[in-house]
Structure 1
Amino acid sequence: MARQPIDDPAGTPLSYWAATASPGPEIPAFDGDMQADIAVVGAGYTGLSAALHLAERGLSVLVLDAHEPGWGASGRNNGQVVAALKHEPHEIEEHFGVERGRELIRAVGAGPDLVFSLIERFRIDCDARRCGIITAAHSSGAFGDLRRRVEIWVARGAPLELLDATELARRSGTEFYTGGCIDPRGGAINPLGYARGLARAVVESGGAIRRDAHVRSIGRDGAGWRLKLDKGEVTASKVILATNAYTDDVWPGLRRTFLAGRTPQLVSAPLGENQRRSILPGGEIMSDTRYLTVGVRMHPDGRLHLGGGNGTAGGETPALFEELARHGRILFPHAGELTWEYRWSGHMAMTTDRYPRLFELAPDAAAALGYSGRGICTATIMGRELARWASGEAKIDDLVLPLSTFRTLPYYPLRDLIVEGAVMYHRLRAQLAAGR
């Protein structure tokens, strides 16, 4: 049987995030039967946000994770807090309808407000900065698309600003790109620190979390649910599945609704004073318009951080990082040969249309996943929304993300070939578009 993301080595990866994040709360291992109003499977942003919003309502909530809070993608990503999905607003309205589409656009646009307000309210130590996000165009055609994007969003009241090639180079420290735009609503965090802070807030608000709690099966138990684990069972009235890319076979077919791809992260040794002042001197965080997006940020201690830009359906190998390091040399040749002190990877759940999914799996059982690289804000939002549903405040088809039809991908058995082929195709396409 092919390995699944959940089968990655136990323990937090030796990442820059793990080296700099504050410790999380003491989480007991699951050992024995438990009961709760709502059982949440997965201690990433979706599950922790859901649990926090439920605990604040006074409901009994139990979060179960096969590892520990933030172990998966929530603790391994680039830390970009983005105020948009992967689509333009008119595309979202066409996809979901004007009324529901506008509601979703508003919610995601306010996503950074939600994230940073939780960080402030619960005093989460995660190096949070409302610094703005630059999107850099990798080709002249992409810059034309960004120009139209800015016009569309500005017409709708969003504070985006177009940057020509000269201004983009000044703000970023690279002349690779043809221009770009900046969205001041976004920002940056230590994503593992954010996950651990949410976990602490859950516990302090009266919720419960258990690690080493790999749920093996979920079945009906009268009017509620029974979750079977290696060392006991959990009974609950409602269940939220919040496992995203790390979904296994606990719910039949769920992991076949998306494709999981492993993406890399690299963090350098501290750069020299002149080098660190030349790259993103204004403190912004940057990503580009390639399908295989490269994220760039500078850390306060002068380290350069690159994320994404490559992917695989397989394991973590040197080749996964080599392409990202090569792109770093292209972006910042003046930085010389960089020493990469931290390298790690995590899985991202990609849907075919890059829209997230909200599923009603059965009465009183729901799942949200497939954030396609927009997980920090969108997963936090969906946790809040699932809490509205689980608490009885809203029907599931009234949440901000419309319900999706549960469909498995017919070509899922070929997922490894599809992911590897897509990576090669989009890498070549980006190189041709950029003339490199």
Structure 2
Amino acid sequence: MSLQPCDSLWRASAPAAPTLNALDQDLDVDVAIVGGGFTGLSAALHLAKFGVSVALVEAAEVGFGGSGRNVGLANAGLWLEPDDLDRQLGAEAGRALYDALAVAPDYVYGLIEEYGIECEATRNGTLHCGVGKAGLTQLQRRCEQMQRRGAPVELLNTADAQARIGSEKFNSALFDPRAGTIQPLGYARGLAHAAVKEGAQLFDQSPVESITPEGEGWIVKTATGSLKAQRVILATNAYGEYGVKDQARKFVPIFYSQLATKPLTPEQLDVILPNKEGCWDTCTVMSSFRMDQQGRLVFGGMGGEKHYHASWASQRVKELWPVLQKVEWEFSWTGKIAYSEDHLPHCQQLQRGLFSVAGYSGRGIGPGTIMGKELAEWFTDRRDSLSAPMTTLRDIPLREVKRMFYEVGAHTYHVGQRTHVIG
């Protein structure tokens, strides 16, 4: 299988990863990790820091999957509204997960500072941008629920929201000062450097061919080597086809595409997101937008068809910000999100000593980092349980039909919006 890197802004601008090699030997470690994204790298870093022998194998390169392709919003919490979280898990478990992820940005930015990770860390908050009456109602509901749990969020009125976003197309915005933006691939590569510094062994270009029980532990085999471990963490999320195919059936993969402009002019930067918050809107087919530190506008939306996505994005950007009547895209890339049926992350203990963590539903930076840390703490008896649900998930029925439903819906929305804007 040929694994090609994506032509993304993040890959073009991220600092280099540590120099790694393919696994070409047979190693005996305490914990083996499959997948070099936020969860796997965080687990490797913390396990090594706690004195546990750990080895990680990545099918392509560190951050190849969703970790290196995402929007880069370091948010607190989950997509689910807090009250929905309590209804699904129960008040006590819901609050435990909410509290753990409420401080996720603190932990992410703390790691960035502790290990000197170069990832364009900007902590100016995020804006959830309201569209239409339904969008305003949703933000009012979210604001009330989050404030009731102690979150320092603020619902901006129309004038303040439009001034912060630089567009008249939004009627409100939920501002969360705890959050911010990062260069996601830079963060992933920085976690890899930190893990190596702490003593973890990392291997890239090493797709897993089999994971089989042996005695009290497991054997993780690649084409040229193997890892023998008491515990194995499967941390491939939406990219389970690169070694752990059966786990991919537990989640619906959703494509999400992004484009980045050439650096904007000082006059344009004075208007568009002058405070550099990361943003996403309340539309059913969500869009996201943010700036990088070189002044490029990064605009994204659901769907994987680049031709229609780029055409729609150009028109949508002009509609949102009339000052951008000539849009020049410099980069374009697509990644995958793993949606669970309940929109919650899950840690599944598939068999004794074999764990799978996935299902961030598009919010992987904070939860992935926290879940990796918690697994390391749990394995070393530093905590009694995980914040995320410990459940064995069933295969999602009609998974491919559901994936196509999301893809066709996004395609239809983009074509319809483009026709509406042009007409």
Same fold (TM over 0.5): yes
- Aligned equivalents of 2:91 and 2:41: distance in 1? 30
1:285-305 alpha-carbon deviations (Å, 9 max, x no partner)? 111112322111122322111
1:69-91 alpha-carbon deviations (Å, 9 max, x no partner)? 11111111110011121122111
Report the AA paired with residue 302 of structure 2: N
Q: TM-score, normalised by structure 1?
A: 0.92
1:115-140 alpha-carbon deviations (Å, 9 max, x no partner)? 00110111101010111001111112
> Residue 310 of structure 2: which of 315, 321, 324 is its match?
321
Task: Say whether 1:182 aligns with 2:169.
Answer: no
Task: Say whether 1:407 aligns with 2:400.
Answer: no
1:344 aligned counterpart, secondary structure: strand
- Aligned equivalents of 1:415 and 1:116: distance in 2? 36
Q: TM-score, normalised by structure 2?
A: 0.94
Task: Say whether 1:387 aligns with 2:376.
Answer: yes
Deviation at 1:154, TM superposition (A): 1.6
Deviation at 1:61, TM superposition (A): 0.3
- Aligned equivalents of 1:430 and 1:35: distance in 2? 55
Task: Say whether 1:27 aligns with 2:20.
Answer: yes
Pairing 1:235-274 to 2, within 5 Å after superposition: 235-248=228-241, 250-251=243-244, 253-274=246-267
Can you give the 5+ residue segments of structure 2 that lack an aligned partner in the other structure? none
Pairing 1:264-303 to 2, within 5 Å after superposition: 264-303=257-296
1:255-278 alpha-carbon deviations (Å, 9 max, x no partner)? 111111221111111222211111
Kept in 1: contact 2:309–2:414 (CA 8 A): no
1:153 aligned counterpart, secondary structure: helix
1:153-202 alpha-carbon deviations (Å, 9 max, x no partner)? 22221111111111111111111111112000000000000000000000
Report the AA paired with residue 117 of structure 2: I
1:358-388 alpha-carbon deviations (Å, 9 max, x no partner)? 1111111111101111100011111111112
Kept in 2: contact 1:310–1:324 (CA 8 A): no
Aligned equivalent of 1:3: none
Aligned equivalent of 1:55: 48
> Residue 323 of structure 2: which of 334, 339, 347 is its match?
334
Q: Which sits farther off after the overlay, 273-282 or 187-196?
A: 273-282
Q: Percent of pairs identical after alignment?
A: 37
Deviation at 1:416, TM superposition (A): 4.5
Aligned equivalent of 2:115: 122
1:217 aligned counterpart, secondary structure: strand
Aligned equivalent of 2:223: 230
1:265 aligned counterpart, secondary structure: strand
Aligned equivalent of 2:364: 375
- Aligned equivalents of 1:229 and 1:374: distance in 2? 30
- Aligned equivalents of 2:299 and 2:14: distance in 1? 18
> Residue 105 of structure 2: which of 101, 112, 116 is its match?
112
Deviation at 1:310, TM superposition (A): 2.6
Pairing 1:77-116 to 2, within 5 Å after superposition: 77-116=70-109
Task: Say whether 1:145 aligns with 2:138.
Answer: yes
- Aligned equivalents of 2:223 and 2:402: distance in 1? 29
Deviation at 1:326, TM superposition (A): 2.6
Deviation at 1:250, TM superposition (A): 4.3
**Taking structure 1 as reference, are residues 378 and 191 closer, same or farther at Cα in structure 2, changes over 3 Å only?**
same
- Aligned equivalents of 1:124 and 1:77: distance in 2? 18
- Paired residues, what number? 421
Report the AA paired with residue 303 of structure 2: G
Report the AA paired with residue 356 of structure 1: P
Task: Say whether 1:15 aligns with 2:24.
Answer: no
Report the AA paired with residue 379 of structure 2: A
Aligned equivalent of 1:349: 338
Kept in 2: contact 1:127–1:189 (CA 8 A): yes
Can you give the 5+ residue segments of structure 1 that lack an aligned partner in the other structure? 1-6
Kept in 1: contact 2:27–2:226 (CA 8 A): yes
Task: Say whether 1:311 aligns with 2:303.
Answer: yes
Report the AA paired with residue 213 of structure 2: R
1:92 aligned counterpart, secondary structure: helix
1:140-161 alpha-carbon deviations (Å, 9 max, x no partner)? 2210221122122222211111
- Aligned equivalents of 1:93 and 1:137: distance in 2? 24
Kept in 2: contact 1:38–1:236 (CA 8 A): yes
Kept in 2: contact 1:310–1:323 (CA 8 A): no
- Aligned equivalents of 2:287 and 2:400: distance in 1? 28
- Aligned equivalents of 1:205 and 1:14: distance in 2? 31
1:419 aligned counterpart, secondary structure: helix
Kept in 1: contact 2:240–2:246 (CA 8 A): no
Kept in 1: contact 2:253–2:403 (CA 8 A): no
Kept in 2: contact 1:259–1:419 (CA 8 A): no
- Aligned equivalents of 1:100 and 1:319: distance in 2? 42
**Taking structure 1 as reference, are residues 335 and 130 closer, same or farther at Cα in structure 2, changes over 3 Å only?**
same
Kept in 2: contact 1:77–1:191 (CA 8 A): yes
**Taking structure 1 as reference, are residues 278 and 377 closer, same or farther at Cα in structure 2, changes over 3 Å only?**
same
- Aligned equivalents of 2:328 and 2:350: distance in 1? 47
1:85 aligned counterpart, secondary structure: coil
Kept in 2: contact 1:66–1:211 (CA 8 A): yes
Deviation at 1:407, TM superposition (A): 0.6
> Residue 151 of structure 2: which of 150, 154, 158 is its match?
158
1:253 aligned counterpart, secondary structure: helix
- Aligned equivalents of 1:365 and 1:49: distance in 2? 18
- Aligned equivalents of 1:249 and 1:20: distance in 2? 25
